[in-house]
Structure 1
């Protein structure tokens, strides 16, 4: 990817009510705001608000990676135990590799704040040259989870062939091993 070409990052809110306009989407804007303060390399958001329908979630995730060229897709919502919470299943269906450590870390961090965090089923997986990450729906939990896992995300994106994402160390420091050099 050329230095001047911004990385594309999908932001997907999975919510029946928000998709119908009955509820203001707070999760998607929370993700965007967090990324705006964390990333210093050029990037552009590709946002979607969709209902809790497995087929639609799968199609949206695949489209954001395969057609829109996103290197990272971050979802919010649909990770609980309720019958319509299907985001993790849709993510697993479109990914070739799952990365359960992301979910484990997010639940560990969230459990410090609320005992019901154990009910959350956040996960992450790889599709092509993109990482798909499922977050909870509450804006404060979104920030806690991104703070916990984002240090590993730029290097993960490097390893799967995505663009070089740079972070603002005042907000979050991306970890890359000493042998991992900036391309170019």
Structure 2
């Protein structure tokens, strides 16, 4: 593991919402949504909300707006709908809402994905940023992509980024 430029605060718990964007998954079949929750809880973070919604831009934006109004939630992690198929609208819905983007997240995610899956990584539109003082991460829906993004990028930086947002 690479050294951290400055230490994170020890014992900081981040409260997250997990949002699976899918036209076909149910709570029983949503392996990626469950994986996000399991990985967060393994690091002693809290899950305030979990839901599955269809890949409809208006519904995605409405759900993000609603979750962002909850003062307890620090971060919202989405999975699904980040490709280029006609029904993949998550990136477009999320990107339009972001007040600040974290371009390095998508860049690093695609770089790490390239190391695992090769040139198909160019089709990923993973994105992250800030919306209404909440961290937003949007990952592809595959469990391998979720594990990669969570273990290599989100979990190592979650406390640091939330601490910065809290001021």
Could you state the TM-score of these two structures normalised by the residue count of structure 1? 0.77
Flag structure 2 segments of 5+ consecutive residues without an equivalent: 1-12
Alignment size in residue pairs? 155
List per-residue Cα deviations over 1:42-78 (Å, max 9, x = no partner): 5233101000000000011111111364111000000
RMSD, matched Cα: 2.2
After TM superposition, the structure 1 = structure 2 runs for residues 70-109 of structure 1, keeping only pairs within 5 Å, are 70-109=73-112
* CA-to-aligned-CA distance 1:105-158 (integer Å, 9 cap, x gap): 111111111121111000001012210001111112211111221222211111
Structure 1 range deviating more: 21-30 or 52-61: 21-30
Normalization by structure 2: what TM-score? 0.84
Q: Does 1:53 align with 2:45?
A: no
Closer, same or farther: CA 85–145 of 1 in aligned 2, 3 Å: same
One of 151, 157, 165 as aligned partner of 1:160: 165
Aligned equivalents of 2:103 and 2:27: distance in 1? 33
What's 1:64 paired with? Answer: 67
Q: Is the 8 A contact 2:109 2:126 kept in 1?
A: yes
Residues 147/7 of structure 1: CA separation in 2 closer, same or farther (3 Å cut): closer
Please, which runs of 5 or more residues in structure 1 have no aligned partner? 1-5, 163-184
